[in-house]
Amino acid sequence: MIKESLYKGEIDMWETLRKEETLRTLRTNRKSGLTKEEVVFRQQKYGKNKLKDKPKETLLVKFIKQFNDFMIIILIVASIISAGISYIQGENDYVDSIIIIAIVILNAIMGVVQEAKAEKSIEALKEMTPPKAKVLRDNIVAEVKAEDLVPGDIVILEAGGYVPADCRLIESHNLKVEESSLTGETEPVTKDSEMICKAPLENINGKVQTSRVTIGDRFNMAFMASIVVNGHAKAVVTDTGMNTEVGKIANMIIEDEAPETPIQKKLSQVGKILGIVCLAICVIIFAIGLIKNIDPMEMFMTSVGLAVAAIPEGLPAIVTIMLSIGVTKMAKNNSIIRKLPAVETLGSSKVICSDKTGTLTQNKMTVVEIIANDKNFATELGTMCTDCEITYEKGKNKVSGEPTEIALVENGIKNNINKVQMEQEMPRVNEIPFDSTRKMMTTIHKVGERYRIITKGAPDVLLDRCKISSGEKERIKENNLKMAKKALRVIAVAYKEVDRLPEKIDSSNIEKNLNFVRTNWND
């Protein structure tokens, strides 16, 4: 049952609701949006649409926290006592005490520096949240600060822009969203406002209950920090700020406290044992001296001296130096370790599993091979049959769009084939967008007095649309299989030129009798 109240976790399965139910529950109008008065009320109730910061600690507090270790405390106490004994006995030999304190301070400084380097995770997430958003309010589309969005706002999503908050789609037109920051999936996800997700059933403590649909399968929703790479849509905001999916990640970063590493546990045990043993030695030696009528002050100095001698001052130094070497090597490979002891834990790992492309890689594709009679022509066709946009920023070309298409366009630029210049020579006059049923997309270009039709898609599907012999078809399939076994992602390109276009532009009369070309890449 859906409660009349909204937000704050009372409804958290928006993907299972129809569009009309979502709008009714959020009390908003899809044609006019929220009123200004309602926006002000909801902003007061739900707060800003932005990620919270982890409570800042001063450098002094961070520095002091580095001494929160039993072994370190014992070392400091031992060095102070050692210096005190040296002073009382008139020896004025403070070398050992200075060395111990220097090692402890160096260890603390390194810890603070490492934490400062690693504490950029929230800032990185914030950079992914868009500063502006197009929103429909009082029947007027306006651009507002993304942090001013509230649940129930109707937002406009367009290609090339970030999704400003978690939304339920109410209209979608060939919409594709890249969600690798949340799911790790390289490929953009096709979204559909008409789809209604079915909540899976789960057995929890003997009771069958509905559970949340995984993020990657919520095809009727778009999430904050994801990027619209194709199409456009209208959506209603369902969650903002820390209640969004990326907000939950930020919250885990803020609240998560890492457990002690094996080396920390061992050193803590050693420290406690040494502390107890040293204290026991002091008491026993002091008691023996008193029984033998030795001067109490002399016995005190003797027992404390023995206790200090029993403490392995070099142990923390050796551990710190070895871990620091590990941290330095990791840093050279662009891996920042927040806590020194984490290096030991990482070194103990035998297998690291990752099930998503882009999680451990750059989430970027690159053309590595082109197989065609004329590679320049194949590159030209692949570049033209894309929806990428090229902008010139800071002296460099910046390509935006789907990763697969970006790879084709960047390969074209590398080979002196610029999509913008090519489209001036061969303007696009029509297209048939990609869809998951056909597994193809087609663009139509004017070349002089004729028309060039370019189609790209899955090789096994595109082959059936080409003029090709059965023998050649089998050879292409074999090569396709070989490439796939080498972990290459394969795409096929085909084309044809015609004098006239049919009155009706659709797949049945355009995507046929094509000439086959072939390209492939990996990520």
Active site residues: 355
Residues 193, 177: contact at Cβ < 8 Å?
A: no
CA dihedral 510→512→516→521, nearest 10 degrees, is 60
CA dihedral 493→498→504→505, nearest 10 degrees, is 20
Pick the closest to residue 446 from 384, 516, 382, 379 (CA basis).
384
Q: Position of tokens 């033209």?
A: 384
Burial of 254 per CB tally in 10 Å (0-12, 13-18, 19+): middle
Pick the closest to residue 129 from 245, 7, 6 (CA basis).
245
Burial of 297 per CB tally in 10 Å (0-12, 13-18, 19+): exposed
Neighbours of 486 (CB within 10 A): 11
Contacts of 311 (CB under 8 A, 6+ apart): 74, 75, 78, 274, 278
Rounded-to-integer distance, Cα 245 and Cα 259, Å: 24
For the record, the structure tokens of 157 come out as 């999503």
Helix (H, G, I), strand (E, B) or coil at 141: strand
Backbone phi, psi, residue 166, to 5°: -70, 130
3-state helix, strand, coil in the chain (%, to 5): 45, 20, 35
> DSSP string covering 262-280, please?
HHHHHHHHHHHHHHHHHHH
For the record, the structure tokens of 32 come out as 């006019």
Helix (H, G, I), strand (E, B) or coil at 74: helix
Rounded-to-integer distance, Cα 383 and Cα 93, Å: 76
Helix (H, G, I), strand (E, B) or coil at 341: coil
Rounded-to-integer distance, Cα 197 and Cα 398, Å: 36
> DSSP string covering 152-191, please?
T-EEEEETTSB--SEEEEEEEEEEEEE-HHHH--SSPEE-
> DSSP string covering 418-433, please?
-HHHHHHHS-EEEEEE
Residues 11, 1: contact at Cβ < 8 Å?
A: no
Rounded-to-integer distance, Cα 458 and Cα 187, Å: 14
